[in-house]
Structure 1
Amino acid sequence: MTTGFERGAAFVDGRFVPVDEARVPITDVGFSRSDVTYDVVGVWDGAFFRLDDHLARFERSCAGLRLRLPFSRAETTEILMRLVRLSGLRESYVDVICTRGVPRDGSRDPRTFENRFYAYAIPYVWILRPEDAETGMDAVIAATVRRIPASSVDPTVKNFHWGDLTKGLYEAYDRGARYPILLDHDGYVTEGSGYNVFAMVGGELLTPEAGALEGITRRTVLELAAEEGIRARSAAISEQAFRGATELFATSTAGGVMPITSLDGEPVGAGLPGQVTSLLRERYWQAHKDPRYLTPVDYGPAPAH
C-alpha cells in the first residue's frame, strides 16, 4: 500500500506533507536573500548518526544569525523522527532549515520578521557513491574563484551562499573533473562544494583550520584518527603542501570518507585510496553501529499527519 510519502516527507507550516507537495513562500527572504541556515543529519540502517551534535550546531548557527527557533531540541527531534517514520526510509538525508521568514508590510527590518522552520527527509544522498570509492574523486584546485572571506560569510554557520562554490563546480566540469577545492585569498586550502578536505602531509593528517565548515563527519574522522593513533589536527594548509600530500580525502554526511585519487589531472600517491584513507573510511562506517553515536528511529505506526 502506498502512503504518498515514499519519496520523502516534509514539515511545512506545522504540517507533515509528502516532500513533492512541500512549498516555501516566494517572499520568504530565506529564498530571496539567502537569509537562512540549515543542517543535515544522516539516518543509516534505521538510526540517526550524531543527531544531537547536528542539532547543537544548527542551534549555534541560528544564534549566530540571530534567528529564533520555534521549537525546543526535543520537539525538533520528534519532528525529524516523525518525518523518517512517515517516509519509512532506513537510509535517509534529513534536513532542518530556519529562515528569516516573510516580511511584514514590506518591512526590511529583520527584527520584525517571524522566523520559519522547515524540515524534510528524503532518500540518502551521495556525493561519491560506495561503488565509486576505489576510483575516488577527481578534484581540482579552483583557479578562477576564491572562497568567500570568513569576515563576510562565516563558513562555520551552514548557509546557502554558494556563489563561489557553484562557480568552482563549473570550473571543475570545464576541466573534465567533478570536485572543486577552493583556496582563500591568502592561498590556503579551505573546502569543497559541500565537503571538508584532509591531507596527509609529512606523516600527519591535516584539515584546514579556517575558512571551512566544522563538519560533523570531519569531527568524527579526527576522533577516529586519535583512537587509531594517527597524528591528526586542524592547521593552515598551503596550496603547495596540499599538492604534495601523499593522501587526500574529503568528508561529508553525504558520503562519509571519500578518497581523492587525482588532483588537477595528476594522481594522488598511487592514484588509489591510501592506507590511512581506507582505514578511516572503514572505521567511519563501523561507527554507524556504535551506540555512542546513534539515535534509533521508532518505525512504529506513523501518526496521522
Structure 2
Amino acid sequence: MHQECWRDGRLTGLDEVRLSIDSAAMRYAQVVFDGCAAVADPTGTTLRILDLPAHLSRFRRSCAGLGFALPWAPDELAEAVVAVTRRHHGRGAVGVRLFAYAEGEGFLDDASPGVCVFLRPLDGYAPNRPLTLATADEPRPAYTDLPRWVKATAHYAGARRALLRARRAGRDDVLFRNEAGRITETSRASLLVLDGDRLLSPPVAEGVLPGITRELLGIVAKGALGLTPEHRPLTPADVLTADGALLCSSSLGAAAVGAVDEHPLPHDAAIALVTAFDRAARGETPHLDDVVTSVRLTNSGAR
C-alpha cells in the first residue's frame, strides 16, 4: 500500500525517502526522533493524537541536544503531523513518527537536518497479556556524554543487545538499573509501580527518558482511580514488593507487568489502570480530552 509522508515541507511517498549509506545519519547515528500515538475514537472516524504539543517540544529539545538547527516551527510541524495523520486508511491506533537526520557526510556539518513525518501501525506491538521482564546484567549509567533526555537512535543500540539477551531468557523486555543500582526503565518504555494509593516512577535524573505517556498515565491514574503520581528513585526491592507495575510508551500504550526475573507481581490493579488509560485514550472518558488533538479522517470509510 502506498503510504504518504511529510518530508521537508511537502507530502510524498514514504518509499521515496532515501538516505545515503555515507551520510552522517548512517555513519555516526546523527538521528533524532519522537513519536506519539493516534488512537481511533469509538466511531472510527477520528484519530485522537495524544499530547502532540508535548511531543513536538521534546522533539525540538532532542534536536537541540544533538546540535541540529531544526528549520521548522512548532506550528509547521503540527500541521505536518495532522496532514499525514488525516490520510490514515485503517481503523486501529497508529504511531506518528518524527525524524530529523543529518543528510551530509561530515561529522560536524552544520546544515539543517532533513525532517520526515510518517505513520506506523501499532497493532500487535506487544502481547495482550501482562509482560515479563529480565533485569539487565550490566548497569546503564544515568550520566553519559549523550543525555537520556535526547531521544536519539544512538541510545537504542545497547538497549537492543540487552533486549536480545532477555528474549533468549524467555522474557518480553529488559529492565535497566543505573550505576547506583536503582531501577530506571526498559528498552523502549517507562516503568511505573503501584504503591498503595501512589503511582511511582523514577525521575529523569535517574537516567530515564522524560516519558510523555507516563505523564498521561498519571493524569488518568489520578482522575479515574484517585492515585497520586510521584517521581522518586526506585530500588529493585520497591519493584518486587509493589502492588503492581506497568510499562508505558507512545507505541505500547500501557501494559501490566506480570513478573520480573523469577518474581511474579500482582497485576489486577495494574490491569485496572491500563483499562482506564485505554478508555481515556479512545475518548470514552474525558480524562485526556484536554491534551488531545482530534483529526478527522478523510478515508475512514465509516458510515
**What TM-score bracket applies, with the shorter chain setting the length?**
0.7 to 0.9
Contact 1:81 1:298 in 2 (8 A): no
Contact 2:19 2:103 in 1 (8 A): no
Contact 2:36 2:51 in 1 (8 A): yes
Compared with structure 1, are the counterparts of its residues 78 and 185 closer, same or farther at alpha carbon in structure 2 (3 Å cutoff)? same
Matched, 1:274 2:268: yes
1:75-124 deviations in Å (ceiling 9; x for gaps): 11221222223343443211001123313xxx4334x3332211211222
Contact 1:93 1:125 in 2 (8 A): no
| Matched position secondary structure for 2:87 | helix
Equivalent-residue separation in structure 1 for 2:86 and 2:152 (angstroms): 27
* Structure 2 counterpart of 1:221: 217
Further displaced range: 207-216 or 29-38 = 29-38
Aligned residues: 283
Equivalent-residue separation in structure 1 for 2:72 and 2:147 (angstroms): 24
Equivalent-residue separation in structure 1 for 2:236 and 2:114 (angstroms): 40
Q: Any residues of structure 2 matched to 1:189-200 within 5 Å, and which?
A: 189-200=183-194
Q: Any residues of structure 2 matched to 1:1-305 within 5 Å, and which?
A: 4-5=1-2, 8-45=3-40, 46-90=47-91, 91-103=93-105, 107-110=106-109, 112-124=110-122, 126-129=124-127, 132=128, 135-143=129-137, 145-160=138-153, 161-201=155-195, 204-209=198-203, 210-227=206-223, 228-269=225-266, 273-275=267-269, 277-288=270-281, 289=283, 290=286, 291-300=289-298
| Matched position secondary structure for 1:162 | helix
Which runs of 5 or more residues in structure 1 are unaligned?
none
TM-score, scaled relative to structure 1: 0.84
User: Greater RCO between the two (CA within 8 Å, min separation 6)?
Assistant: 2
Contact 2:86 2:296 in 1 (8 A): yes
Compared with structure 1, are the counterparts of its residues 83 and 89 closer, same or farther at alpha carbon in structure 2 (3 Å cutoff)? farther
Equivalent AA in structure 2 for residue 150 of structure 1: Y
Equivalent AA in structure 2 for residue 230 of structure 1: L
Equivalent-residue separation in structure 2 for 1:232 and 1:297 (angstroms): 29
Equivalent-residue separation in structure 1 for 2:21 and 2:7 (angstroms): 14
Compared with structure 1, are the counterparts of its residues 95 and 125 closer, same or farther at alpha carbon in structure 2 (3 Å cutoff)? farther
TM-score, scaled relative to structure 2: 0.85
Identity, % of aligned pairs? 22
Report deviation, 1:201: 4.0
Which runs of 5 or more residues in structure 2 are unaligned?
41-46
